[in-house]
Structure 1
Amino acid sequence: MLNLILTWLVTSISFLIISKLPLGIEIDGFGKAAIAAAVFGLLNALLLPILTVLAFPLIILTLGLFFLVLNAIIFALAAYLVEGFRLRWGFWSALIGSLALAIINSILLGILYPLT
C-alpha cells in the first residue's frame, strides 16, 4: 500500500514538473496534478490492456513503438477528463507529455525506491 501511495505522489510531482516545461501541458496546481495522476493511473490499469490487445498487430509491426501512441491516447483522455489539466497542442502535447512523464517518473522512482 505504501508503494502505491509513493508512486501516486511521484506521478503527481512528475505532472507538476512537466507542466513547468515548455511542452504545451498546463496543470492548475498540485491538487489537479494529484487528481490527474490518479485518473492516469486508473486509465492505465483499465484501458491500456484493452488497447494493447486491439492494437497488437501495430505494436508488432512497429516493434513496440506504438506503445508511445497508446500512452499518448491515455494521457490525452486523462487531460480531457480532469478539469484544470489542458493540452495546448492536442495530440502532440500528449505524445511529448507522456514520454516526459515516463522519463521523469523513472528517474524519481529510481531515486526513491532504494530508500524505502
Structure 2
Amino acid sequence: MVRFVLQAVVTALGLWLSAYLVPGVGFLSTGSLVAAAVLLGLVNAVVRPILVFITFPLTVITLGLFLLVVNAAMIGLVASLLGGFVVDGLWAGVGAAIVTGLCSWVVGGLIPDRRIERDS
C-alpha cells in the first residue's frame, strides 16, 4: 500500500510537470491532479497490461516505440474519465507520457528497492 501511495505521488509530480511543460496538458485543481494520478495508477495496473499484450507485435516492429503510444492512450483514457484533467490530442499525450515516465524513472532511481535489500 505504501508503494502504491508513493507511486501515486511520483505520478502526480510527473503529471504536474507535464502540465507545466507540455502544451495541451492541464488540470483544474490539485484534487483533480491527485485523482488523475491515482486513476492512472489503477488504469496502468488493469488496462495497460492487456493493451501491451494486444499490441505486442506492433511494439516489436517499432522496437518498443509504440509503448509511448500505449502510455499516451492510458493518459488520454484517464483524461476522458476525469473532468478536471485535460489532454488535447495524441501528441500532448505522448509528451505527457515522456515527461511522466522520465519523472518516474528519475525518482525510482533515487528510492532504493526494499525487495532487493531483503533478498541479499
Q: TM-score, normalised by structure 2?
A: 0.85
Q: What residue number does 1:5 align with?
A: 5
Distance 1:19 1:29 in 2: 12
AA partner of residue 46 (structure 1): V
Q: What residue number does 1:99 align with?
A: 98
AA partner of residue 95 (structure 1): V
Q: What residue number does 2:24 align with?
A: 24
Mapped contact 1:16–1:30 kept (Cα < 8 A): no
Question: Deviation per CA, 1:35-84, whole angstroms, max 9, x where unpaired?
Answer: 00111111111111111121111011111111111111111111111111
Identity of aligned residues (%): 33
Cα separation, partners in 2 of 1:58 and 1:22, compared to 1, 3 Å: closer
Helix, strand or coil at the partner of 1:23: coil
Q: Where does 1:27-46 land on structure 2 (aligned, <5 Å)?
A: 27-46=27-46
Show structure 1 runs of 5+ residues with no match: none
Give the count of matched residue pairs.
114
- RMSD of Structure 2 on Structure 1 (CA): 1.8
Stretches of 4+ moved more than 4 A in 1? Answer: none
Q: What residue number does 1:86 align with?
A: 86
